[in-house]
């Protein structure tokens, strides 16, 4: 019984010496870092969309040429290597990022006009390079990020039609002409606004 009391006392002292708040804070910080890397302690894996982008980027970097044909072949190879995502699933997610993060951004659109790039093609290439690349382009600008490699953004391996069908087509739904030309109309509207702003500033 005496030994139990000593053990009990030791346990209390240890418990009192522990700063629970520090432990929780440390745990949450570690979890945050794991989340950034895409791996949680629960075993949750990265989104297949981002895994496919990573695979595509790595494979493409090893190619001597980055022609349109090479890009298409590399994508098909990456798609086969990554499980958990279909071609349409990837294209649908790619469309969302292309539209919501890049084509709707005035800084990105201005860069494209100044560099004489097709905004849709440039956006697709940048989105496929990964989330970090998208962030860098929106923060630093296309010319700073790509430099002499800016020509690599001129051709896109997917058309607006392909992305629209992946996003909206189903057994019960036919893709409308409006959906098929949404990128063109958005780009046109953004260009008009930028031209208007430029005219007023003169």
pLDDT (tens digit per residue) in 85-138: 999 999 999 999 999 999 999 999 999 999 999 999 999 999 999 999 999 999
Q: Are 141 and 133 in contact (CB under 8 A)?
A: no
Average pLDDT score over residue span 35-58: 74
What share of residues in the chain are helix, strand, coil (percent, to 5)? 75, 0, 25
Burial track 35-64 (b if 16+ CB lie within 10 A, e otherwise): eeeeeeeeeeeeebbebbbbbbbebbeeee
**Residue 9: other Cβ atoms inside 10 A:** 10
Percent of the chain with pLDDT over 70: 77
pLDDT band at 36 (very low <50, low <70, confident <90, very high): low
Contact (CB, 8 A) for 145 and 112? no
């Amino acid at each position: 019984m005496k030994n139990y009391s000593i053990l009990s006392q030791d346990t209390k002292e240890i418990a009192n010496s522990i700063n629970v708040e520090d432990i929780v804070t440390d745990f949450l910080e570690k979890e945050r870092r794991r989340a950034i890397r895409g791996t949680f302690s629960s075993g949750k894996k990265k989104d297949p969309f981002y895994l496919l982008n990573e695979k595509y980027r790595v494979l493409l970097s090893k190619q001597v040429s980055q022609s349109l044909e090479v890009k298409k072949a590399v994508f098909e190879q990456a798609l086969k290597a990554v499980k958990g995502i279909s071609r349409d699933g990837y294209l649908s997610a790619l469309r969302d990022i292309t539209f919501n993060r890049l084509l709707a951004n005035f800084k990105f659109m201005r860069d494209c006009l100044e560099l004489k790039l097709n905004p849709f093609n440039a956006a697709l290439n940048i989105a496929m390079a990964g989330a970090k690349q998208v962030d860098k382009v929106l923060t630093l600008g296309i010319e700073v990020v790509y430099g002499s490699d800016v020509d690599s953004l001129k051709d896109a391996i997917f058309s607006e039609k392909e992305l629209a069908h992946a996003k909206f087509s189903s057994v019960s739904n036919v893709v409308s002409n409006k959906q098929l030309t949404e990128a063109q109309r958005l780009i046109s509207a953004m260009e008009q606004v930028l031209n208007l702003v430029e005219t007023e500033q003169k």
